[in-house]
């Protein structure tokens, strides 16, 4: 006879079941996690600094993968005297595919514009990406825990894009033929397990293969 009151007390202490985040919350969350990834190109070539920055956006294996990709990219850029100045990150679409408490999948389309400097020559670049990200709510808050790239291509004439990418018109040099990190612009972010949807997808200059991650300018795999 004493069990029922105890069960009622226990159930009352549990409270209501957690609910999945609503769409508006997710749409606001994605840029908060994703945009800062591109700040990696403004950091000194320091392992701890790069890891710390990425740890605010990624967790688990996704964090390790992004760190390895970006550290390798930054190292190669230093060797080749290449620098990237990311000027704009714009989100074209953010669609919630499915959501449950503490876990959500989103389909994200975005554009990244910036200036690539290679041995004192400056070139404007605008790349467009599409990826599916899995976000999880852990001990440190929401983080990206899985990335699947779906599409990547470089805009051939950034100066014709208009809008926020008008800032790229400041650079006097043309696009040139050098395959720099911007040409691979990846955002970085994540393993490409799908098939690129555009024939303009640039190939890695060394391996001849499509980039596996999205770094802001192709060197980045991301966010």
Tell me which of 223 and 48 has the higher pLDDT: 48
Local confidence band at 14 (pLDDT 50, 70, 90 cut-offs)? low
- Residue 213 covered by a domain: no
Mean pLDDT, residues 188-214 taken together:
35
Percent of the chain with pLDDT over 70: 62
Average pLDDT over residues 118-137: 90
The 10s digit of each residue's pLDDT in 138-161 is: 999 999 999 999 988 877 655 544
What are the helix (H) ranges across 107-148?
none
Question: What is the pLDDT at residue 29?
Answer: 96
Question: Across residues 11-16, what is the average pLDDT?
Answer: 56
Q: Does residue 191 form part of some domain?
A: no
Does any domain span residue 5? no
Number of domains in the chain: 1
Could you list the residue range(s) of the whole structural domain that residue 60 is in?
20-184
**Per-residue pLDDT tens over the stretch 205-216:** 333 333 334 454
Considering the domain boundaries, does residue 12 fall inside one? no
| Position 65 in a domain | yes
| Nearest CA-CA partner of 82 in 40, 118, 121 | 118
Q: Is residue 58 part of a domain?
A: yes
Q: What is the CATH number of the domain that holds 146?
A: 3.10.450.50
Domain assignment present for residue 189? The answer is no
Task: Answer yes or no: is 209 within a domain.
Answer: no
């Amino acid at each position: 006879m004493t069990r029922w009151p105890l069960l009622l007390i226990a159930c009352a202490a549990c409270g209501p079941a957690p609910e999945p985040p609503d769409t508006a919350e997710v749409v606001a969350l994605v840029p908060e996690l994703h945009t800062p990834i591109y700040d990696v190109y403004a950091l000194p070539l320091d392992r701890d600094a790069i890891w710390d920055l990425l740890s605010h956006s990624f967790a688990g294996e996704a964090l390790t993968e992004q760190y390895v990709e970006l550290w390798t990219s930054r190292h190669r850029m230093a060797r080749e005297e290449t620098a990237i100045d990311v000027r704009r990150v714009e989100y074209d679409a953010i669609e919630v595919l499915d959501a449950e408490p503490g876990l959500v999948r989103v389909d994200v389309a975005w554009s990244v514009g910036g200036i690539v400097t290679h041995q004192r020559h400056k070139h404007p670049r605008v790349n467009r990406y599409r990826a599916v990200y899995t976000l999880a709510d852990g001990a440190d808050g929401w983080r990206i825990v899985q990335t699947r790239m779906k599409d990547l291509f470089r805009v051939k004439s950034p100066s014709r894009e208009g809008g926020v990418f008008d800032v790229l018109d400041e650079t006097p040099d043309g696009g040139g033929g050098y395959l720099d990190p911007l040409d691979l612009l990846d955002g970085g972010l994540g393993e490409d397990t799908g098939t690129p949807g555009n024939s303009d997808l640039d190939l890695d200059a060394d391996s001849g293969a499509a980039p596996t991650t999205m770094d802001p300018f192709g060197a980045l795999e991301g966010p």
